[in-house]
A and B are shown apart, each in its own frame.
Chain A
Amino acid sequence: MQASGSAWLAWLSAQWPAVMAAAEHAHQAVNSKTPVKFQVLTPAQAKDVEAIAAQIIPTDELPGAREAGVVYFIDQALKTFAADSLPSYQQGLAELNAAASKKYPGVKQFADASAEQQHEMLQVLSDEAEGSSTAPARRRPQAAASTDFFQTIWQHTIFGFLVDPSGGGDRDYVGWKVIGRDPAHSFAAPFGFYDKDYPGWQEAMAAEEKK
């Protein structure tokens, strides 16, 4: 593995400035004491988006969407590859807030509702979206239809939580920490529990023959 290790280092050193620049930008965005200005979302919208994302992947003993900086990822996405989805966000958030203040007097926007109330409201949205939800084990995932607000924000939350940080999410790899993905860029076998004592194919076959 000597040669592959050095190839990896060569690659990394070539990439390092770009990797650092991207990481730095994301880091500034999510860690700055004076909040970085959102590019697309209004501050009120950003609050709601963050609250929804935190319902989808909540914070418990492990970090959630909030700690992964998902709202900053989504703001950036709505300016770039997901620009088509902006009207759906605007409409979806407006409807959600209208429903919130109707259902819970005194609550002006989704983010101000209690966690239980937020959960209840999202459950309604998610039940409505269920019909069009992805079947388990779909092989070729596609970007959600830009008109379906819950599907879209659900997918974007997962994007922002689990994308390699070069893609603008998964701050400090907290999303990967939750799923157990080591952020290293190269690994050597054995990889896990089941292959650690593997004797080699010929030996395994011979051992099986003996049984």
Chain B
Amino acid sequence: MSQSKVSYKTSDEVDFVIIGSGAAGGVMAKELSTNGFRVVVLEQGPYLTEADFGHNEIDVVFNHQLTNNPKFQPTTFRKTEQDKATKQYSVMYGRCVGGSSVHFTANYWRLHEIDFMERSTVGDVPGASLVDWPIRYEDLEPYYTKVEWECGVSGLAGASPFDPPRSKPYPMPPLPVKGSGVIFERAAKKLGYHPFPAPMAILSQPRAGRSACVNCGFCLGFGCEVKAKSSSLAAMIPVAEATGRCEIRPNCYVHRIETDKAGRVVGAVYFDAKKNSHLQKAKAVVVCANGAETPRLLLLSKSAKYPNGLANSSGLVGKYLMPNSGAIAFATFDEPLNDYKGFAVSRIFHDFYEMDVKKTGIYGGGGLDARFDLAPITFALGALPPGTPKWGSGFKKALNQNFTRTMEIFCHGTSLAVETNSFSLDPDVKDAWGLPALRMTFKDHPNDLRLANWMKDRAMEILEAAGAKTKWHAAIQEQQFAVHLLGTCRMGTDPKTSVINADHRTHDVKNLFLCDGSSLVTSGRGQPTMTIQALAFRAADRITALTKRGEI
């Protein structure tokens, strides 16, 4: 249900159309409307609020209540450009007002200095297109602070010796520790690592009319019913709507960005809930549709002037997809942790944030966290130790013993950019609107699999040191499913090797901006949402300045 106080006619030429209302789109909407602009946000999903969020795991996890539904929006997958892609559920993203920030885990790590200048620090990596960002950590630092204070992040400044410098402490203390966190912290410390309270975009104290976390336990995958999770929906959209200048228009599936003869963007064309098509006119368009849908939309928007798709003179739209590498280790313990209570993660460490390439032969790095993020059904379907009977009394006994006694160590890491890893338009498969389906082409850079394996071994050592009763890990396999959708319209100074500049303006079209996971130049170490929001705060500043100077 829309709360917007204003509604614009499609023929009204608003200042900005923002496509997507997720992590980036929500921030962009709030910033641009607060700065005095007239804004329409087109969101393909429904406008749900906390009253709509419940604990029905089937609806949320299996029936795609909050995410793209492969039934209507099929995706395809292939490993290499030589293969023919086949239908496969390969991409998941939030499809509702607030986007993926509604259902995320809410790990809020800042990138470190190294992430912005890895190429100039470690040199070229064979088989990868590793390049520096056009901005540095210092450029983004004020905006990370903005994210923490305006969206609401719990954490403890200075707790990790590996943290980059910060201008302000966190606005509120960390969330309470969980059993998994205590077990992890003790074992990691024993092995010489530096565990610390996880920074989380979940309120540990009431703030701005929102409740602190009540530890209901239905967190990852679910929408928060008390607004404690700092989604764009809870933290940004209400501020945008309160300006009276921002209309959030849900159930609008944008399928084309329209341009005029001069090549300028004139608005966005979308299907409404009844599949009628409309053009919303705007002076400029900001695409925040995520790292899969943003490139898809640009490719769908080809025209006589832009035969390869909009903003694609480089041919790089959709390329360099980085989904982050990772591994998961599991363990059970003698006594109940009851880790199903509360949010997912309470302790992490960053000792492996910068791998020693000379010593290990592995580029990039990662972070390890202690968590339990499995709702009951998901747990029963896939988190019992190998060899557990699948049904019958042995199965039931394992459920009875293990649900309260299981924890995970989640390893998050680098994906190196590889040009042939991409999102593109499937030539054959169409969605329920008749549009070409998203096609994912992906094969992990061998380094990423080595890194995942290496981190998995460290996780198993920690569980050993922790005295786990049983421990096992998920197989390290080539990835065929992406949730972190990064790098597909990368930022850079050279129009030949990047899609947008440091202001998030496309090199090709003056009044077209892109800001979301697609903007990232490197993948970080696994938790991109905070960076996506910091980039959005910064981009909104840049766009505002350009507009005020009449440069759009």
Contacts and interface: CB of A to CB of B under 8 A. Distances in A.
B265 interface: no
A69 to B, nearest CB: 15
Contact of A81 (B63, B196, B333, B386): B63
Q: How large is the interface on A (under 10, 10 to 19, 20 to 34, 35 or more residues)?
A: 35 or more
Contact of B339 (A60, A126, A191): A191
Given A60-B393, A81-B63, A187-B342, A135 B475 contact: yes
A138 B376 CA distance: 14
B73 to A, nearest CB: 15
B399 interface: yes
A8 B285 CA distance: 39
Nearest to B209: A7
Contacts of B432: none
Contact of B89 (A142, A164, A189): A142
A116 B124 CA distance: 64
Contact of A192 (B61, B63, B336, B384): B336
Nearest to B373: A139
Interface stretch (A25-33, A41-49, A50-58, A89-97): A50-58
A124 interface: no
A81 B395 CA distance: 26
A24 interface: no
B435 interface: no
B404 A180 contact: yes
B342 A191 contact: yes
B62 A142 contact: yes
Given A166-B55, A189-B215, A181 B340 contact: yes
B206 A3 contact: yes
Interface in A33-89: 55-58, 60, 62, 64, 81
Contacts of B181: 195
Interface string B169-213: 000001011111111011001000000110000000010000111
Given A134-B382, A154-B391, A189-B342, A167 B57 contact: yes
Contact of A7 (B214, B380, B481): B214
A5 B206 CA distance: 11
Contacts of B183: 194
A136 B385 contact: yes
B381 A138 contact: yes
Contacts of B226: 4, 7-8, 11
Given A57-B396, A167-B59, A187 B211 contact: no
B341 A191 contact: yes
A51 to B, nearest CB: 13
B139 to A, nearest CB: 31
B400 interface: yes
Nearest to A205: B189
Contacts of A198: 177, 182
A141 B214 contact: no
B383 A137 contact: yes
Interface of B: 50-51, 54-59, 61-63, 89, 92, 156, 159, 174, 176-183, 185-186, 189, 196-197, 206, 211-218, 225-226, 228, 328, 330, 333, 335-342, 376-386, 390-393, 395-396, 399-400, 403-404, 472-475, 481
7 contacts: A11-B225, A139-B382, A154-B390, A167-B59, A178-B396, A194-B179, A194-B180
Interface of A: 1, 3-5, 7-8, 11, 14-15, 55-58, 60, 62, 64, 81, 119, 122, 126, 130, 133-143, 154-155, 158-159, 161-164, 166-167, 175-176, 178-182, 185-195, 198, 201, 204-205, 208
